[in-house]
Structure 1
């Protein structure tokens, strides 16, 4: 686990926006108890003797003409999230630290789980140097701590360099790597603040002469718990690895993920296209080995200035052919500005589904119109028009005709399978909602002899039915928002004298057992036959 700490994150974020502030003393201020106090000093202001929490008037007495800016914790949090996303170029598991655990003075931190990733950059030590150099290019001072537990990494990132300075060590002060099994040794000389304890607890421990983590390791836990609660023992166990400390990543770890990090930043669209082709071929190989196809792909471009630009595509069916996927990405690449250069490209497949080989008869006409060809055509449509603008029918488990199918985006997953097909004929056009008709039947429970629909009178020349359809027992309200409950329907196929053919139904039963006849019954026209 890596803890990446930015001791002057708030002020360095302002320096990136205002280059004239770089190297000059300035502070951010916040209103505290009716007065303005220093929230975060710049490194130059801190060197001039201005600590966090100092009243602004006292700060300007020490440094005349000191510039002050309003503190923006919300903006700092958003910038930290963006920076955590940018760190996704090195590991898919990143998360901004809880702002409640950040040190006062505008500090901030990011968690990076580099399990299985460090060897890609030449080892843990080299990865730590790469991170500090990259952050320095972005305008941030960063310190790296790497250990087996998040608590130990957090501690050495913030206090490991202080301990080395005290001992006169010449080790790299940008960060510290704790070897496996060396957490206890690394934590022993650090101050108790390294355990992320509340300020009042640290003050109480100082009054008892317990100023270093090693002091806490050598005293019984019972008296500490009785006086300070469980916070000390919990933080100790988390740092030593005796208790699990959950940390939620910013993004879910994606199983299908490939990356390319060129030797020099990419500045041309042609270079991006070459890199994308390489990523797609790598991903195709991984998908093929696992018999999977991608339904959605996301391309992240990490710029040298800290920006992250994205492009995504979707497919109507599982796909892994790199040439087809490249054509879908082609239109997206035109709108991506390389800016000052792209130093990393990451391609992920967040949605995958099984994709097996399909047997096509040698003499079949489907050789010319294979399903893959139709899928490629639909993919181009939805990526050009938008995933929500290309629809398909999705079958539903319902006997009610207007509920038997629904239109959904073509990319939307779901079952298109149904039970045994209906044995009775269905109209080629189903009305959006049944329309009321005035019907006259020769017998109460027989088909209409004539009916009026949309002010036109039709006489029945031929009728077939009834086909009785009952609703699901758990349905209470009609699907077209009618003010009555669903009832059993009797459907009839009618042919008028002029040749028009209709699908009509009678709502409800004419006579229930033990009841008097119901009159009148309502009739509806629901569909039209060819």
Structure 2
């Protein structure tokens, strides 16, 4: 990598990454385990040190773990959050060297070649690394060697720093599993009598390769340094921000809008290249007195069309105080969402775009969360057959699907006079005398016993659609358990 400089690699293994991450947020004393459902069984996913000391192991069923350790506390595991946390650790580790990559689901690998002098020595760098991770509450095992494979082996099986030079002497006493082999390959080698890396290195290669393939030998060569293995750092996520420094200060709204338009064109080009759309934008305006003002815009739908976004900024930009002038504009998409390329036409989507822009304009005044819509809910109970959701963060559904029609206007049940299971011929409702002209029903609806609801504790309801001689079309129901008639809705 560098002429005249020996390559050095650090491997960091976090044996309890998931439990350490959880306990950082929710400290718990005593034995603790994270569980994950696998093949219809709740199994132990990760343990803390106290639980491991009591003989619990990963992969065992949670019921067995509770039998061995009755005071075991647990919580559900979230592997996706653990993966995100590991990426945060990878970015933090770039303070030691620029080349940091992920090592599986619970480790990091770092190429520290040419970076150790910044800390004085390799021992000082490793001590600083271990100390900072310990203060953060993370258990870590660290290995340092000439190759990525040798550093991984030390981190997992013999924590320490290997001297430069002959890696075989360092790896000889370690088990063959230290070569990053699969469990099946490790078991097969052990059954053959090859339990140590030194024994594998002394085995004739040609007969071994014919029987086990080239993977074990390739892993051995990578660990010894005879075959190169690169460390690929993760690329930083794209930054959706653009900036413009002006030669002369500006203060007119037209000039600020013109500068914002130029920035929007550049930003939307970045978003289009990544097939992303902006959900939240922020314009920062720097005045000549070094004061900053910000204008935020939250969109009802992800967008990357500068012509549609620019007018939505006008209200916010018109309220800024330019002071003695603005000499710098910065535009950033603070929240983005995937927006794949779609086929568009002058027929499809025009009305939808106008509605989204209207929602955005209203949202800047009253808040996007306050603009809601009704959506169907999976329940046959009338009061639970819908839910409200913010328009900006939900999609319109195709509508309610019922075997029997439902009233447009639904209200709490209102009692009326009536007896018997058949609808009354005459009744009074809201100070009106009504006569039943036509009755359709009944439709029996039973309560959802798994959800508590005081209004449905009386039992089943028999619903009728009533067309009155006076023109009213009502939705009535009868309660057989506690005889009585009620009006709950009105059809259009």
- TM-score by length of structure 1 reads 0.46
- TM-score by length of structure 2 reads 0.50
